[in-house]
Structure 1
Amino acid sequence: MTITMYGIPNCDTIKKARVWLEGHKVGYAFHDYRAQGLDAKRLDGWVEKVGWEILLNKASTTFRALADDEKKDLTPKKAKALMLQHPTMIKRPVLDLGERLLVGFKPDIYAQELTGR
């Protein structure tokens, strides 16, 4: 299984997830969507799998800094446009396991999904 972790390298949650993966000898590729970007097709696929409500981090500094009119009355289309424009609004990390995604870092979920424990 090819695993890709999406996020930004200086994020504390990304750092914790990377330490966990490396400590459990789980191989992965890292995609920095601030530096490498994130295409609309990939985001659409993520939204289909888990929903925009899971992906959009309303607690992020970037989201909170938006004007009130940008934050209200969110629709899937509006949320996707915001996440493409500001990828740091996407909850981190997004771990792409191919058929499924893990969004956020929870050691117990990682253990269950990645090591079968």
Structure 2
Amino acid sequence: MYLFLEYPKCSTCRKAKKWLDENKIEYTDRHIVEQNPTSEELKKWIEKSGMPVKKFFNTSGNLYKSMQLKDKLPEMTEEEQIQILSTNGMLVKRPLVIGGDIVLAGFKEEEWDALKQG
């Protein structure tokens, strides 16, 4: 069973959810804004993913832009970046799928094919 974090108004999240349903992949749905990921969760997921913290930011979002994070992130420690990510679900790249050894940020069908193996 996977954890699927989404923002329901996001078209990419809707596409990803449809893909999960069509491929009969079981998941627990979680609204990324109503239940923002905690810094502890993010730390665990980032470590498991092997990706840099930067990959977990929704760089195309209005909040990211209005906070001028593009300029600020390079000056911050990884810990500070995770702390900012945990303040608002709109900062987190979505959708997120977590389960077993898999952590996927964003929806790229070829990456998500790994979920079919269970």
- Measured in 2, the distance between the counterparts of 1:68 and 1:108 equals 29
SS in 2 for 1:85: coil
1:109 matched to which residue of 2?
Answer: 111
2:59 matched to which residue of 1?
Answer: 58
Q: How does 1:28-107 map to 2 (within 5 A)?
A: 28-49=27-48, 50-67=51-68, 71-72=72-73, 73-107=75-109
Contact 2:36 2:88 in 1 (8 A): no
TM-score by length of 1: 0.84
Structure 1 runs not aligned, ≥5 long: none
2:13 matched to which residue of 1?
Answer: 14
In the TM superposition, residue 69 of structure 1 has moved relative to its aligned partner by 9.3
Equivalent pairs counted in the alignment come to: 114
- Measured in 1, the distance between the counterparts of 2:69 and 2:62 equals 14
Amino acid at match of 2:26: G
The CA RMSD measured in Å over matched residues stands at 2.0
Amino acid at match of 2:66: A
Amino acid at match of 1:60: G
In the TM superposition, residue 75 of structure 1 has moved relative to its aligned partner by 2.4
User: Following superposition, which runs of at least 4 residues in structure 1 exceed 2 angstroms of deviation?
Assistant: 67-72
Structure 2 runs not aligned, ≥5 long: none
Pick closer, same or farther for the CA change 1:71–1:15 going to 2, 3 Å: same
TM-score by length of 2: 0.83
Question: Percent same amino acid at aligned positions?
Answer: 23
